[in-house]
Amino acid sequence: MAPNNKRGGKRPLPQGEQFFTPGATGLRKAVEERSALPMTFLFTQVPRWLAPAVLVILLLAGFAVANPLGGVAVLPVIAFIGWLAYLSWPSLGAGAKLLRVAMLTFLALLVATRFGAF
């Protein structure tokens, strides 16, 4: 069991220089500001195993169910991975960017097959 800290047993916020992209404007700034509360909640208040477990269950359902319901199960996975990819994009190298694009493309094709596009 984790030791108690000043926040009533909750995990502390991660250390880092800045939470937001320096000099961000427009859409990036709006997304980062709107994402701050859900991201803080997700990474500090929710058990660490919950988000990955839910995403794996939804992804497995998408693989197992070969109809539109399987495609609907994968949509939250695409949204979550796309959200994290968008937020981390400025700090990524070319290989990491390619990996995220490949993952999102694969998931989009999976959804398309479940909806009968292929």
Spatial distance between the Cα atoms of 22 and 88, rounded to a whole number of angstroms = 13
Per-residue burial over 89-111, b if 16 or more Cβ lie within 10 Å, else e, is: eeeeeeeeeeebeeeeeebeebb
Does pTM top 0.95 for this prediction?
Answer: no
- Cβ-in-10-Å burial (0-12, 13-18, 19+) of 12 comes to exposed
Per-position pLDDT tens, the chain of length 118: 445 455 556 666 556 555 667 667 788 878 877 888 887 887 788 898 998 999 999 999 999 999 999 999 999 999 999 988 988 888 889 999 999 999 999 999 999 999 998 7
CB-CB contact of 114 with 67 (8 Å): yes
pLDDT in the model for residue 11: 63
Domain ranges of the chain: 26-114
pLDDT in the model for residue 48: 87
